[in-house]
């Protein structure tokens, strides 16, 4: 068994400095966005940490998996272009929407707790955020499912293994 990416062997999960660099860079960008938006709306450092980054930590494992999937899709880009592109589009959209929605929710929670926004406005806002999130999520999963089942051999081309007949005794 080969250890390269193309064979789907262990090479797919080997340690990569590029992968580590991508994950660290993405984390640094997310942190700078959280602190930038938090400061822009008037939050203190402790409020950004508790109301923003505290919520982000719950989503971090999912973002880590999406980042790994994005990295693998980019590596498969030359081998299977259409499925890889669909996967890249879906994962990038899910990562971007998750980050934006978390930032908007952080701002809404801050405005709600500081009395700048009424409870009714927060309720409507979270409802709209939920609808937008559901539509984006469904669209991304359509892309992923299409990527999984695109460019596969048709049923006629798949060789059916016939069971050998047992000799009569």
For 9-63, the pLDDT digits (tens) are 555 556 677 777 877 887 788 888 888 888 898 888 888 887 777 777 888 888 8
The pLDDT of 109-135, averaged and rounded, is 90
Say if residues 73 and 91 touch (Cβ distance below 8 Å): yes
Task: Tell me what pLDDT residue 160 has.
Answer: 53
What is this structure's pTM?
0.71
Say if residues 41 and 110 touch (Cβ distance below 8 Å): yes
Say if residues 56 and 30 touch (Cβ distance below 8 Å): yes
Task: Tell me what pLDDT residue 169 has.
Answer: 55
12-47 as b/e: b if 16+ CB within 10 A:
eeeeeeebeebeeebeeebeebbbebbeebebeeeb
Picking from 120-129, 133-142, 143-152, which range would have the lowest pLDDT averaged per residue? 143-152
Task: Tell me what pLDDT residue 150 has.
Answer: 80
Helix H segments across 41-118? 45-47, 54-75, 81-113
The pLDDT of 99-115, averaged and rounded, is 87
Pick the more confident residue, 143 or 57. 143
């Amino acid at each position: 068994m080969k250890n390269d990416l193309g064979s789907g062997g262990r090479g797919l999960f080997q340690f990569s400095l590029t992968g580590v660099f991508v994950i660290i860079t993405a984390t640094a960008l997310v942190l700078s966005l959280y602190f930038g938006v938090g400061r822009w709306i008037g939050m203190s450092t402790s409020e950004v940490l508790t109301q923003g980054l505290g919520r982000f930590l719950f989503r971090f494992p999912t973002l880590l998996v999406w980042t790994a999937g994005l990295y693998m899709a980019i590596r498969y880009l030359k081998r299977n272009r259409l499925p890889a592109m669909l996967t890249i589009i879906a994962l990038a959209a899910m990562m971007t929407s998750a980050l934006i929605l978390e930032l908007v929710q952080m701002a809404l929670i801050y405005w709600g707790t500081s009395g700048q926004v009424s409870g009714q406005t927060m309720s409507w806002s979270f409802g709209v955020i939920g609808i937008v999130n559901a539509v984006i999520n469904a669209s991304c999963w359509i892309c992923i499912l299409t990527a999984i089942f695109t460019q596969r051999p048709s049923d006629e081309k798949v060789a059916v293994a016939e069971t050998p007949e047992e000799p009569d005794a």
